[in-house]
Amino acid sequence: MKDNRSVARTLAILELIAKHDEGLTLGQIYRMLDIPKATVYDFLQTLYRADAIYYKDPRLKNYVIGSKMFAIGSVYTKNSNLIEASQFELKDFADRYGRTVFITKRINDKIVYVYKYQPSSSKIVTPQEIGTVSRDFEYGPIGKCYAVFDKTVRNGNIPDFDEIKKNKYVYSSLEDNSHICTLATPVWNFENRIVGVLVASDLAMDGVKRDAIAKDFVEIAKHISRRLGYLGNFDE
């Protein structure tokens, strides 16, 4: 079936704007997408009237994603198979260990937080909320997890690549002077691809049984992967 060109162009415009937090002008958009200026203008005006985009700075007329897209995207948290399959065990893990847990997904060149649960016993206040975006695929444990296990963004130059691949998890370093310790592990689905990364955060403390906690977290990720139809070998 042939794609509808108007729909394809609308999505291309929204995806392009979403990649630029500082916003994009009409001129930037039509040149970057190589679409006629008048056509882009019509699309932008329609999206603007629908609150799908708005001006970050009315003087510059630079477009950013608007409230309508946030409202539509937030429905994902209610209908996501990943969240539905994950939240019971994640909440149990969080309550047992006093750690704040998250689910993240990779959307093109962004890592998006789509779920958060903070138990009453948590000792930290995390700045990340649902909708938080990161573009770090190199230094942080979450990005490293994607860079090792997600074939689309795989980076063989990631430090400890082979060890991470073997262990199926990534911890933040105790030497980075951060007071927060972050643990990340991947989840697969029925298409044998990484569908998300689970995250657990707590105070960084020496002496904590990091490996034992990580192995428990990895087992949870395996259970979730099976629920999502993954039939592959976790030891590959």
What CATH number should be reported for the domain holding residue 18?
A: 1.10.10.10
Tokens coding 193: 């691809």
Task: Report the predicted TM-score, pTM, of the whole model to 2 decimal places.
Answer: 0.72
What CATH number should be reported for the domain holding residue 192?
A: 3.30.450.40
Residue 91's pLDDT is what? 95
Q: What phi, psi does 166 have (nearest 5°)?
A: -70, -45
Query: Is 33 inside a domain boundary?
Result: yes
Number of structural domains (the chain) is 2
CB 93 within 8 A of CB 101: yes
CA distance 130 to 135: 15
Domain coverage including residue 63: 5-68
CA distance 24 to 17: 6
Same-domain pairing of 211 and 131: yes
What DSSP string describes 97-110? Answer: HT-EEEEEEEETTE
Residue 79's pLDDT is what? 47
Same-domain pairing of 176 and 149: yes
Per run of 10 residues, the mean pLDDT along the chain (length 236 residues) is: 77 86 91 92 91 88 82 59 90 93 89 90 82 87 94 91 93 73 93 93 73 93 94 82
Residue 3's pLDDT is what? 64
Query: Is 235 inside a domain boundary?
Result: no
Same-domain pairing of 41 and 101: no
Beta strand extents in the chain (DSSP E only): 53-57, 62-65, 100-107, 110-117, 133-134, 170-171, 180-188, 194-203
Same-domain pairing of 21 and 114: no
